[in-house]
Structure 1
Amino acid sequence: MGLRPPRPVGMAELRTDRLTLRRWRDRDLEPWAAMNADPEVREHLGDPLTREQSDASVARFEADFDRRGYGWWAVEVRDTGGFVGFAGLDEVEDGMPFTGVEIGWRLARSSWGRGYATEAALAVLAHGFGALELPEVLAVTTATNLRSQAVMRRIGMSRDTEADFDDPTVPEGPLRPNVLYRVARGPGSGSLPV
């Protein structure tokens, strides 16, 4: 695919105690494709992706960074340099019953249960409220995705039960009912909610 090397144009590399959130590299494509082919990782997302679909998603992520300066970062463990998934911010898709910027994450199954999703999401949220000065960040998942909802609560988000909805882009079935979580920027520039 030939991704360009990471560069600081329009975005920051985010670091936590254990993780680095950075632009995508060619070496990420294979483990990303393996994640997207894993039925357990895709349980709340739909059918597994082909390698071509997975590679195309990374091309879109990079184009979004170039266009608007934020998007989905590749997440790696700092101690090992190993790719474990993605986390970031994205504009809510057209056709949804709300607008705004949403936070999200997806990790390889081997990385579940280590607190990486919460750690990465907190870094993304701080970047969204600080550098991007977003007034609010949203999160969406299927009603059955209790693990992601737990992360949403851990990073200070609250469920907006009046805004729960059936995703118009998903056919009838268990993935169609979705929940919406929200968090507003706290007092002071760049602060997390209080």
Structure 2
Amino acid sequence: MIETARLVMRSWRDEDVAPFQAICSDPDVMATLGPPLDRDETAALIGRVRAIEAEHGHTFWALERKEDARLIGWCGVIRGSAGPVAGKAELGWRLARDAWGAGYASEAARGAADWALAHLPDDDLWAITWEGNVRSRAVMERLGMAYRAGLDFDHPKLAAGDPLRRHVTYSMARTKAAA
């Protein structure tokens, strides 16, 4: 479990499926991520991130707000699976629409980055997003991550012609994160 001033990142529970499905079915949330997910798709996604945690000891954890114990999304670090971040420590987050604009994504991502730097051997932390995702790109920049223009790529899990296919890459060196 990772705690920040206002948030907790923790392992997933069975009862998280319904609230996370509400997030993953919101067209505003999914506008930069892909099509909205139904309950079965959300349960399968949670199953995949649980398996990642079981294998690696870290994942995109359930993100809970301390003040009301509400699940507001996910945040954490996985081993990247696509493009220039494949096999690298990749930070990621997804938040409920009504949790946007309160600094939760930056706070959670900083907590996950600090955890990764304390527990993983990687020299760099990485993040990717669809090129038009200005909110996530702003979080990456607030963390001190640098845009790596030469590492833009077409996400292999998205079909040719998918408007979300083009992705950008950001990274932060361990020495930059410690500064």
Q: Which fold has the larger relative contact order, with Cα–Cα distance below 8 Å and residues 6 or more apart in sequence?
A: 2
Structure 2 residue matching 1:173: 3-state secondary structure: coil
Tell me if 1:186 matches 2:163.
no
- Tell me if structure 2 keeps the 8 A contact 1:19–1:76: yes
What residue in structure 1 maps to residue 99 of structure 2? 111
Pairing partner for 2:8 from 20, 32, 36: 20
Pairing partner for 2:80 from 89, 92, 103: 92
Q: How does 1:26-175 map to 2 (within 5 A)?
A: 26-93=14-81, 96-99=83-86, 100-171=88-159, 172-175=161-164
TM (norm. structure 2) is 0.94
CA distance in 1 between partners of 2:169 and 2:62 (Å): 24
CA-based RMSD of the aligned residues comes to: 1.3
More helix by share: 2
Percent of aligned pairs with the same residue?
37
- Tell me if structure 1 keeps the 8 A contact 2:32–2:130: yes
TM (norm. structure 1) is 0.87
CA distance in 1 between partners of 2:116 and 2:149 (Å): 23
CA deviations on 1:35-55 (whole Å, 9 max, x unpaired) are 111111100111111110100
Structure 2 residue matching 1:30: 3-state secondary structure: helix
CA distance in 1 between partners of 2:3 and 2:66 (Å): 9
CA distance in 2 between partners of 1:97 and 1:133 (Å): 18
CA deviations on 1:5-27 (whole Å, 9 max, x unpaired) are xxxxxxxx100000011011222
Q: How far did 1:97 drift?
A: 4.2
Aligned residues: 177
Q: How far did 1:114 drift?
A: 0.4
CA deviations on 1:67-99 (whole Å, 9 max, x unpaired) are 1101111011111111100001111115x2453
CA distance in 2 between partners of 1:184 and 1:156 (Å): 9
